[in-house]
Amino acid sequence: MAIAFPRFVRSESSAIEEANMASSSSSSVPSPPPPPVFLTQEELKQIAAYKAVEFVESGMVLGLGTGSTAKYAIERIGELLHQGKLKNIVGIPTSKQTHEQALSLGIPLSDLDSHSIVDLAIDGADEVDPYLNLVKGRGGSLLREKMIEGASRKFVVIVDESKMVPYIGGSHLAMPVEIVPFCWKFTAERLQRLFEDSGCVAKLRTYKDSDEPFVTDNANYIVELYFEKDIGDLNAASDSILRLPGVVEHGMFLNMASTVIVAGELGITVKNK
């Protein structure tokens, strides 16, 4: 489906336009223009995703992201393959969910064992700071995302403007950490103590409407860290988290994004590293 962008207002119905024309013809005072109707967050995500797919070329090995934004990019890639505008694409999915979506669209799939270098990865993000550091993994796929996107020559991130933050943790929403299930409470308490100066609260992720622990595609748990204040040096924070026994990976993607495409009310903004 073609999208015309950046266009962020839709015209009113023809009936309203005709009424305005009739009114203006019978009065010397022009009718006021109709109020703008802004695009929804989902429409902004779709626009950013379609823009990211412009980086895709035939013959590429692609890292296929996970989540509500990445799904639009995958749909577009499948559409272009079906139309013959893209050929010889190989996709490496970052989750079981993405694997199923890509298969349903006829996208050929492989893995890092067969393709250790990925030409291009496209994925969304939960936070983007001014230096293009990211928080990812609120969908639960941070480990596979980091493996595949870390192996990519170019990593394009697609977001709507609500994901832009002044610093990592600035949304005051979860920064996920994947941990082994064994003694998870012990690990969660140690994670919380690491960042007590930043007002950190650590919570085990559970399934919606349930007390059952959320289980990742790798059969692990996720502890969500919530920060009241800036955690400071991100590389030092990363090292401290990864040194804890029981931690598998965290959701800070530092110095990984090559390009961030932001869709907002004023149009598309492309930020390059």
Active site members: 145
Cβ atoms of 91 and 118 within 8 Å: the answer is no
- The Cα-based distances of 106 to 75, 81, 111, 263 in angstroms read 10, 8, 16, 28
Interstrand relation of 118-123 and 61-64 (parallel, antiparallel or unpaired): parallel
Type of residue at 144: R
Q: Quick one: three-class SS letters along the chain?
A: CCCCCCCCCCCCCHHHHHHHHHHHHCCCCCCCCCCCCCCCHHHHHHHHHHHHHCCCCCCCEEEECCCCCHHHHHHHHHHHHHHCCCCCCEEEECCHHHHHHHHHCCCCECCCCCCCCEEEEEECCCEECCCCCEECCCCCCHHHHHHHHHCEEEEEEEEEHHHECCCCCCCCCCEEEEECCCCHHHHHHHHHHHCHHHCCEEEECECCCCCCECCCCCCCEEEEEECCCCCCCHHHHHHHHHCCCCEEEECEECCCCCEEEEEECCEEEEEEC
CA angle 193, 195, 197 (to 5 degrees): 105
